[in-house]
Amino acid sequence: MGMLEGKVVAVTGAGRGIGREIALLAAAEGASVVVNDLGASESGEGADTGPAGEVVEIIKSKGGKAIVNGADISDPLGAESIIEDALRAFGKIDSVVNNAGVLRDRIFHKMSRSDWEDSIRVNLNGYYYVSKAAALVFKEQGHGNFVHFTSTSGLIGNFGQANYSAAKMGVVGLSNSIALDMQRFGVTSNCIAPFAWSRLTASIPAQTEAEIERVERLKTMSADKIAPLAVFLASDRSKEVSGQIFCVRKNEIFLFSVPRPVRSMHRAEGWTPDSIADELLPAFKPSFHDLARSSDIFAWDPI
């Protein structure tokens, strides 16, 4: 028996990269899969259901069940169609993997409003639309699992990705809130920050020696390594896991910390701007975190 035997799973952005590997493993573990992919370019232009169709054909050729959904997740009706297609084709929906994503990288002072809005539209609003469409079904049936893709670009930081980082941190807030709001209905919601060589990461500009080295390291990380954790989180075996942020890098799986207060200082008379500068700043300063990029923190070679 596969871990997802008898389950129905929708995976967004499953025509390529990480989503494709999740769809293939979910099917191999017994799930019927809605393979959603708009088939856009890495920055979100155009549409082609060819890649999603290929994934469905591979699943069917191995005796599995899958259908194509070519909707744009940033269109609320398109997002709803993913859940409707699952219900129509397979009679139910058990898990949603919010994986689709686009990049519109630009250094902040040059980031246009459309760079900002296009990223938020797909990477954050799209996740809300798909989750919202599934939430009512999950509530009625008393179970359901959400797996959302975030990024260390948001969790830690990166250059030229203010739009993407904001969206991906938004995804963390969305996941945490769904976990809290829907716990009473038996629903779980978790995040994965992946590292994988894909079309998306192939678009990372690499000019300096350090950047070239970072990209060479990324090339050794294959997308299929992310799928086992996503499939586990989409299964009944992860019932007690919710509101967590995981990270996968090759054969390593990480659990991330979440913000909690690290220092507190009380002043009986209350604070003035001057007393903050004179008393609070020197007390807090040793606890400030350094500004870091994802690659500064994940500085060692993956095994």
Ligand X SMILES: NC(=O)c1ccc[n+]([C@@H]2O[C@H](COP(=O)([O-])OP(=O)(O)OC[C@H]3O[C@@H](n4cnc5c(N)ncnc54)[C@H](O)[C@@H]3O)[C@@H](O)[C@H]2O)c1
- Least Å distance between CB 208 and ligand X? 19
CA nearest neighbour of 297 among 105, 157, 107: 157
Burial class (CB in 10 A: 0-12, 13-18, 19+), 65: middle
Binding-site member from 196, 230, 231, 247 for ligand X (CB under 6 A): 196
Selecting among 127, 128, 129, 164, the annotated active-site residue is 164
**Cβ closest to ligand X, residue 54 vs residue 279:** 54
- Least Å distance between CB 21 and ligand X? 8
Binding-site member from 3, 7, 16, 214 for ligand X (CB under 6 A): 16
- Least Å distance between CB 292 and ligand X? 16
Q: Does 194 bind ligand X (CB under 6 A)?
A: yes
**Helix H or strand E segment including 136:** helix 126-141
**Cβ closest to ligand X, residue 215 vs residue 241:** 215
Active site residue 164: yes
Bridge pairing between strands 8-11 and 187-195: unpaired
Q: Does 200 bind ligand X (CB under 6 A)?
A: yes
Q: Does 144 bind ligand X (CB under 6 A)?
A: no
Which residues are CB-contacts of 263 (< 8 A; sequence separation ≥ 6)? 283, 284, 287
Q: Which residue is nearest to ligand X (CB)?
A: 17
Phi-psi category of 203—alpha, beta or left, where left has phi over 0 and alpha has psi -120 to 50? alpha
Q: Does 160 bind ligand X (CB under 6 A)?
A: no
Q: How far apart are the first and last CA of the chain?
A: 30
- The pattern of x and - marking residues 268 through 287 that bind ligand X according to CB under 6 A reads --------------------
Q: Which two tokens stand for residue 206?
A: 């690499």
Give the whole-angstrom CA distance, residue 217 versus residue 214. Answer: 5
Amino acid 256 reads: F
Q: Does 198 bind ligand X (CB under 6 A)?
A: yes
Write out the E strands in 7-154.
Answer: 8-11, 32-36, 65-69, 95-98, 144-149
- Least Å distance between CB 40 and ligand X? 5
**Per CB under 6 A, which region of 35-43, 179-187, 229-237, 258-266 contacts ligand X?**
35-43
- Residues within window 41-100 making contact with ligand X, judged by CB under 6 A: 42, 44, 51, 72-74, 99-100
**Helix H or strand E segment including 191:** strand 187-195
Q: Which residues bind ligand X (CB under 6 A)?
A: 12-13, 15-19, 36-40, 42, 44, 51, 72-74, 99-102, 122, 126, 149, 151, 193-196, 198-201, 223
What are the residue numbers of the active site?
164
